[in-house]
C-alpha cells in the first residue's frame, strides 16, 4: 500500500492529487483522535491570542497576519478557532472543544503520537516511492471541520503559503481521521491544475510592520464546475501537489470531519541540483581533483608527497593515502581558484584564495597580457548562501556540484 504503482504515480502526475484508501488503520486514526482530545482538554489560550481562523484573504490578513500568535506558530502547537465562537472579551460562546478550527503547526515535532505517524515506515516508504530523496517536514495541522460550523476552505494552492523556488517541491499529505463526505466537507480538486505555476503568494511583511503579511497576486475566480469532489473513508491518505487547486466546503452536517495533514518539502541542499545528500568532502578533495584535472594526470596523495608537481604553501601536505587533507585552520570560506593560462609566465599555476583573504592586482604596464581563468567553490554542506548576494542560483542553473 505504501509503495505507489506506476499507474498511481502517473495518476498523481496527471491530476496533482491521489487518494490512497486504507493507508492508516482505524486504530491508528483513533490513537490520533484520542491524543488530540487530550491536547484540547489541556489547552490554554490566552484571551489576546484567541485568533479565529479564516481563509478569506482580507480576514486572513487581519485575523492571522496581524497577530504574532499565527506568525510564530510554525514551531509550536497552537490553536485556531472558528468564526463567531468568542464574545467581544474573548470568552468562549461555544464549548472550547467544539470551537477549534485547527491546531498547528508543529504537532509532528512536539507530540509523540503525531511524530510517530508522520515519520512512520509507511509514510517514509510512500515518500521514497514518490522519488523524494531528502524530504523535510515543513508543518503539520490537525483540522477539525466541526459539525454545523466547520468553515469553508476557499480555493487555493498550498504553494501560495508554502512557496519554493523552484516550484514543485512541496507535497501535502492529508489523512482522513473520519469519513470525509459531500455532507461534512470533503476535499474538492481541479484535476491537472498543478501545472501552471502559482497565482498568489502570502509573504511576510518587513519586521514590525502591520499587517504582518500581505498577498502578491490574486486568486483567479476558479470555475466551480471544474472541481471534483473527493469523498474518502477514515484512514485514507490524499497526496496533494503543492500547486494543485483545491478547497473544501462548509460542514453543514451534524458530523465532524477530522483530518491530520502535513507538508513535505524536498530539501536536500537548496542550491545543489542533483537532489541527493551533500557529501562531506573536505577541501583537500577539491584540491587533489583540481590538481589531477590539470595538464597532469590525477595523482595519488603518496605521489604528490614524494614528488610534488607544485609546491604547497607551508602547513599544507597531502596525506600519503591520497584521502582528504584537513585544513581546519582555513575554515569554511569561499575559495577562489586562479589559474593563469598557458601563455602566461607561470602557465598552469593554480592559486587557492580563501574567501576572506585581502588581495589585489596591479595595472598591467607590460607589453604582455596576463590571462587567467578563475572560479569559486563553496562547501555547500551545512552552508547557507546569502539571499542578499547579487549572484543567485536559478532554476535553470542551480550551483553544479564539483564532483561529477
Ligand X SMILES: O=C(O)CCC(=O)C(=O)O
Instruction: Output 228 or 280, the one with its CB closest to ligand X.
Output: 228
Rounded least distance, CB 146 to ligand X, Å: 11
CB of 73 to ligand X, least distance (A): 15
**Per-residue x/- marks for ligand X, 311-350, CB under 6 A?**
----------------------------------------
Cβ nearer to ligand X, comparing 51 with 146 = 146
230 binds ligand X (CB under 6 A): no
Q: What CA–CA distance (Å, rounded) separates 257 from 231? A: 11
Planar angle of CA 219, 100, 122, nearest 5 degrees = 80
Number of residues interacting with ligand X: please give it, by CB under 6 A.
11
From candidates 78, 169, 194, 246, binder to ligand X by CB under 6 A: 246
Q: At closest approach, how far in Å is the CB of 70 from ligand X?
A: 15
- Per-residue interface string for the shown chain with ligand X, residues 132-151, x marking contact by CB under 6 A: -----------x-x------
In the region spanning residues 260 to 289, those forming contacts with ligand X, defined by CB under 6 A, are 261
Helix residue ranges, H only, 273-327: 283-292, 301-306
For residue 20, the minimal CB distance to ligand X (Å) is 16
* Binding of ligand X by 258 (CB under 6 A): no
Grid coordinates 497552537 are at which residue?
Answer: 78
Q: Closest distance between ligand X and the C-beta of residue 153, in Å?
A: 4
Q: How far apart are the first and last CA of the chain?
A: 36
- Is 54 a binding residue for ligand X by CB under 6 A? The answer is no
> Which residue's CB is nearer to ligand X, number 99 or number 248?
248
Cell 491508528: give the residue: 28
Nearer to ligand X, 189 or 318 (CB): 189
Residues 174-193 that bind ligand X (CB under 6 A): 174, 185
Task: Count the helix, strand and coil residues of the chain and give each as a percent rounded to the nearest 5.
Answer: 25, 20, 55
Q: Is residue 248 involved in binding ligand X (CB under 6 A)?
A: yes
User: Under DSSP, is residue 139 helix (H, G, I), strand (E, B) or coil?
Assistant: strand
Would you count residue 259 as binding ligand X (CB under 6 A)? yes
Of 174 and 283, which CB lies nearer to ligand X in the complex structure?
Answer: 174
Cα 278 to Cα 384: distance, rounded to the nearest angstrom? 13
Q: What is the DSSP string of 209-256?
A: -SSSEEEEE------GGG-EEE-B-TT-EEEEETT--EEE----SSS-
What is the rounded distance in angstroms from the CA atom of residue 245 to the CA atom of residue 228?
Answer: 11
- Asked if 158 interacts with ligand X (CB under 6 A), we say yes
| Set of cell numbers at residue 183 | 455532507
User: Which residue lies nearer to ligand X by CB, 56 or 296?
Assistant: 56
Among 61, 15, 38, 75, residue whose Cα is nearest residue 214: 61
Closest-CA residue to 401 (of 375, 378, 367, 370): 378
CB nearer ligand X, residue 16 or residue 340: 16
Residue whose CB is less far from ligand X, 67 or 261: 261
Smaller CB separation from ligand X, 172 or 340: 172
Strand extents, DSSP E, 242-388: 246-248, 259-266, 335-340, 351-353, 372-377
Q: Which residue is nearest to ligand X (CB)?
A: 248
**How many CB atoms neighbour CB 163 within 10 A?**
18
Q: Which of 153, 238, 287, 288 binds ligand X (CB under 6 A)?
A: 153
Which sign, positive or negative, has the C-alpha torsion 271, 273, 276, 282? negative
Among positions 65, 155, 172, 268, the unique one binding ligand X when judged by CB under 6 A: 172
Give the long-range contacts of residues 199-206, CB within 8 A, separation 24 or more.
199/157, 199/160, 200/156, 200/157, 200/160, 201/159, 201/160, 201/163, 202/60, 202/65, 202/160, 202/161, 204/71, 205/65
Least distance to ligand X, CB of residue 179, Å: 13
- Interaction site with ligand X (CB under 6 A): 143, 145, 153, 158, 172, 174, 185, 246, 248, 259, 261
Amino acid at each position: 500500500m505504501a509503495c505507489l504503482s506506476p499507474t498511481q504515480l502517473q495518476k498523481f502526475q496527471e491530476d496533482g492529487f491521489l487518494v490512497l484508501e486504507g493507508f492508516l488503520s482505524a486504530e491508528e486514526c483513533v490513537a490520533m483522535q484520542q491524543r488530540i482530545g487530550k491536547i484540547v482538554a489541556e489547552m490554554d489560550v490566552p484571551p489576546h491570542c484567541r485568533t479565529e481562523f479564516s481563509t478569506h484573504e482580507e480576514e486572513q490578513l487581519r485575523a492571522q497576519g496581524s497577530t504574532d500568535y499565527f506568525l510564530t506558530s510554525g514551531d509550536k502547537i497552537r490553536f485556531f478557532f472558528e468564526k463567531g465562537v468568542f464574545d467581544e472579551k474573548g470568552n468562549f460562546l461555544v464549548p472550547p472543544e467544539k470551537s477549534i478550527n485547527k491546531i498547528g503547526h508543529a504537532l509532528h515535532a512536539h507530540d509523540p503520537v503525531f511524530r510517530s505517524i508522520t515519520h512512520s515506515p509507511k509514510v517514509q516508504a510512500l515518500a521514497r516511492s514518490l522519488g523524494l530523496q531528502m524530504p523535510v517536514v515543513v508543518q503539520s495541522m490537525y483540522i477539525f471541520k466541526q459539525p454545523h460550523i466547520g468553515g469553508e476552505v476557499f480555493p487555493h494552492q498550498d504553494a501560495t503559503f508554502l512557496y519554493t523556488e523552484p516550484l514543485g517541491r512541496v507535497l501535502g499529505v492529508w489523512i482522513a481521521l473520519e469519513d470525509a463526505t459531500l455532507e461534512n466537507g470533503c476535499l474538492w480538486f481541479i484535476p491537472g491544475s498543478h501545472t501552471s505555476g502559482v497565482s498568489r503568494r502570502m509573504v511576510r511583511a518587513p519586521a514590525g510592520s502591520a499587517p504582518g503579511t500581505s498577498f502578491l497576486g490574486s486568486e483567479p475566480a476558479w470555475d466551480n464546475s471544474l472541481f471534483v469532489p473527493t469523498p474518502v473513508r477514515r484512514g485514507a491518505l490524499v497526496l496533494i501537489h503543492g500547486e494543485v487547486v483545491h478547497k473544501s466546503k462548509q460542514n453543514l452536517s451534524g458530523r465532524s470531519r477530522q483530518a491530520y495533514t502535513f507538508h513535505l518539502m524536498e530539501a536536500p541542499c537548496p542550491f545543489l541540483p542533483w537532489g541527493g545528500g551533500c557529501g562531506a568532502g573536505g577541501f583537500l578533495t577539491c584540491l587533489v581533483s583540481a590538481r589531477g584535472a590539470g595538464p597532469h594526470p590525477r595523482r595519488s596523495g603518496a605521489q604528490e608527497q614524494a614528488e610534488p608537481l607544485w609546491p604547497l604553501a607551508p602547513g599544507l601536505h597531502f596525506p600519503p593515502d591520497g584521502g582528504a587533507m584537513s585544513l581546519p585552520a582555513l575554515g569554511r570560506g569561499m575559495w577562489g581558484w586562479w589559474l593563469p593560462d598557458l601563455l602566461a609566465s607561470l602557465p598552469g599555476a593554480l592559486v587557492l584564495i580563501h574567501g576572506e583573504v585581502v588581495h589585489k592586482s596591479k595595472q598591467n604596464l607590460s607589453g604582455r597580457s596576463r590571462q587567467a581563468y578563475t572560479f569559486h567553490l563553496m562547501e555547500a554542506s551545512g552552508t547557507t548562501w546569502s539571499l542578499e548576494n547579487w549572484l543567485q542560483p536559478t532554476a535553470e542553473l542551480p550551483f553544479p556540484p564539483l564532483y561529477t
